[in-house]
């Protein structure tokens, strides 16, 4: 009958015998191979080359590919500047991570309550993250000005105008060994919006029935926060901490633009830059880069292991 062909199932597409013999994974590998080759050469290849240079005595523009074993690592360990930089990065990381977590959690908690104009405030809180660290450093270089008298500017002037002159500080230009902690202020300000977004997403993923059940049982808002929301936000907190630590170890442009010649706020990344491109000590620069890579791997490794174990469950 006419029109019966409309109700007939379509004929299956026949593949040639050669196509049937090609495994599906091989076709996928063929599509991914350009990216894999580029990543292998320009990331892992250069990492391997950097590690190789760290075992040489390359100084100056002429490459030297001898083998000095662990001499560069031993010399770096005995370098007083390196020990100061290592201490600085620990202080910076601690203040930066704790400050960004605290501020980001507070902002997320305020937005989670359903404040008016949430979209506007969310954009305002996330805006600092859209600004480059170079621009952030230029703004905060003025805010952290340590001038006095008529030359007072930035936060110190604000404190003076509010009658809080006792809060005046020299910030990152202080002679204190804790001057690097002041650099964590602009870094925490820039990343707190990102942390806010992580926490807000985690809070919105918690079913309201959990919190309502706790309130019905007589729990206060503080108890709901501590015994219901805090355990549920543990994976988000763990991820945020790892991301912030990873960023802190690589922070370079912020400190460089803020005050590049101040050894009080010197960090391993700055030391690597100056010793390599200003001093020409490529062997030591590669050694510092390798140590930083190992530090990042020690931080990211547990996270990957935790993620894989969670996925298997």
Rounded Cα distance, 60 and 283, in Å: 10
- Judged against a pLDDT cut of 90, whether residue 165 lies above it is answered with no
- Name the residue ranges covered by the structural domains of the chain: 80-281
Tell me what percent of the residues of the chain surpass a pLDDT of 90: 39
User: Does residue 26 register a pLDDT over 90?
Assistant: no
- The residue-averaged pLDDT of 22-29 equals 71
| 218-246: average pLDDT | 87
Find the length of the chain. 313
Of 40-44, 164-168, 204-208, which one has max mean pLDDT?
40-44
Neighbours of 287 (CB within 10 A): 28
The confidence score (pLDDT) of residue 8 equals: 58
Topology adopted by domain 80-281? MetI-like fold (1.10.3720)
Q: What is the mean pLDDT of residues 15-20?
A: 54
pLDDT at 311: 63
Q: Would you place residue 150 in the very low, low, confident or very high pLDDT band (cuts 50, 70, 90)?
A: low
Separation in Å, CA 248 to CA 70, 93, 217, 241, 267: 27, 6, 42, 10, 10
Cα angle value 54/55/57 (rounded, 5°): 90
Q: pLDDT band at residue 83, thresholds of 50, 70 and 90?
A: very high
Q: Answer for the pair 265, 183: CB distance below 8 angstroms, yes or no.
A: yes
* The pLDDT of residue 123 is above 90: no
Gap between the terminal Cα atoms of the chain: 57
The DSSP letter of residue 3 is: T
- pLDDT tens per residue across span 237-262: 988 998 898 899 888 999 999 888 78
In whole angstroms, what is the distance from residue 69 CA to residue 228 CA? 53
Say what percent of the chain tops pLDDT 70: 90
* DSSP letters spanning 16-32: PHHHHTS-HHHHHHHHH
Confidence of residue 313 (pLDDT cuts 50, 70, 90): low
- Give the SS3 label for residue 301: helix
Residue 98 DSSP SS3: helix
Would you list the DSSP string of 162-191?
TT-GGG---GGGSSSTTTHHHHHHHHHHHH
Residues 277, 83, 188, CA angle at the centre, nearest 5°? 80
């Amino acid at each position: 009958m006419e029109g019966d062909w409309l109700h007939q199932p379509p004929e299956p597409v026949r593949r040639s015998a050669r196509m049937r013999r090609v495994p599906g994974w091989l076709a996928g590998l063929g599509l991914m191979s350009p990216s894999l080759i580029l990543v292998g050469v320009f990331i892992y290849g250069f990492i391997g080359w950097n590690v190789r240079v760290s075992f040489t005595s390359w100084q100056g523009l002429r490459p030297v590919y001898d083998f000095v074993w662990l001499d560069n690592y031993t010399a770096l360990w005995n370098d007083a500047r390196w020990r100061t930089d290592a201490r600085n990065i620990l202080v910076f990381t601690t203040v930066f991570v704790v400050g960004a977590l605290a501020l980001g959690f507070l902002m997320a908690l305020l937005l989670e309550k359903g404040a008016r104009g949430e979209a506007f405030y969310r954009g305002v809180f996330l805006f600092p993250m859209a600004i480059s660290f170079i621009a952030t450093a230029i703004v905060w270089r003025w805010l952290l000005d340590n001038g006095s008298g008529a030359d007072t500017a930035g936060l110190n002037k604000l404190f003076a105008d509010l009658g809080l002159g006792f809060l005046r500080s020299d910030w990152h230009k202080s002679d204190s060994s804790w001057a690097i902690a002041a650099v964590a202020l602009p870094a925490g300000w820039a990343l707190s919006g990102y942390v806010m977004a992580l926490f807000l997403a985690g809070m919105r993923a918690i079913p309201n029935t959990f919190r309502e059940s706790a309130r019905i049982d007589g729990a206060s808002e503080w108890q709901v926060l501590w015994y219901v929301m805090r355990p549920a936000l543990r994976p988000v907190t763990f991820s945020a901490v790892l991301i912030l630590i990873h960023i802190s170890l690589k922070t370079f442009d912020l400190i460089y633009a803020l005050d590049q010649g101040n050894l009080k706020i010197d960090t391993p990344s700055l030391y690597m830059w100056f010793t390599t491109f200003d001093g020409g000590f490529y062997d030591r620069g590669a050694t510092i880069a390798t140590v930083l890579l190992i530090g990042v791997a020690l931080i990211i490794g547990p996270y990957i292991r935790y993620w894989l174990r969670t996925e298997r469950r």
